Amino acid sequence: SYELTQPPSVSVSPGQTARITCSGDALPKQYAYWYQQKPGQAPILVIYKDNERPSGIPERFSGSSSGTTVTLTISGVQAEDEADYYCQSADSSGTYQVFGGGTKLTVL
Amino acid sequence: QVQLVQSGAEVKKPGASVKVSCKASGYTFASYDISWVRQASGQGLEWLGWTNNENTGYAQRFQGRVTMTVNTSRSTVYMELSTLRSDDTAVYYCARANPQSGGGFDFWGQGTLVTVSP
């Protein structure tokens, strides 16, 4: 079955830039989405279609794509950005949705 | 405002079935697909499948065990999972897929905890 691979954890100091990667063979063909999830809460969509930002999401959140890897970048990280981040995409046929394993972002 | 309100927590025995509801409001119900996603305690997100008024699609590992249905008159989507096992214990979320965001899940229900225990 199709898999998306994320690093388990990323740590940055406040004000620095955090980059979270997500790798999958079908990513050149399928859009990627990113979600932020804080403890006890439902996920929130922060990036859609690889690099689009929903209204209400701060500009410091951005997305990019290169080959089989997509990247969520958080510029000028703030303490409130500490959360789990998940990428999501579809397999090459577009039939099945898959989530990456999640990355815990720690703000030091 | 868009809302997805799910039914309350459930406790089931192994081998039983559970049916979780997701009532939508604040938008044109028929224009959006709904997906179901679950999350075991301390674990990641897992997609179960999607439905709208006309079609359904299930993740391969849940085919034969999950059924998603729609009651358009009540703007409600249902997810039934059968032959429950202890590893089905999780929070189950419904989420709206927005075509304007390329199918990204832009609104989520509050989650329903399903506990499977003898």
Q: Give the number of A-B residue pairs with CB atoms closer than 8 Å.
A: 66
| Percentage, residues of chain B above pLDDT 90 | 93
Asked if residue A79 has pLDDT above 90, the reply is: yes
pLDDT, position B101: 83
pLDDT, position B103: 86
pLDDT digits (tens, 9 = 90+) for A57-73: 999 999 999 999 999 99
**Which of the residues B3, B101, B107, B110 would you substitute to probe the A interface, choosing the one with the greatest number of A C-beta atoms within 10 Å?**
B101
Helix H or strand E segment including A105: strand A103-107
What is the DSSP annotation of B58-79? E-GGGTTTEEEEEEGGGTEEEE
pLDDT digits (tens, 9 = 90+) for B60-92: 999 999 999 999 999 999 999 999 999 999 999
pLDDT, mean of residues B35-61: 96
pLDDT, position B102: 84
Asked if residue A108 has pLDDT above 90, the reply is: yes
d(CA B48, CA A96): 9
The whole-chain average pLDDT of chain A stands at: 97
Q: What 3-state DSSP class applies to A36? A: strand
CA distance B17 to chain A (A): 24
Asked if residue B53 has pLDDT above 90, the reply is: no
Contact A54 B60 (CB under 8 A): no
List the single residue in A with minimal CA-CA distance to B58: A96
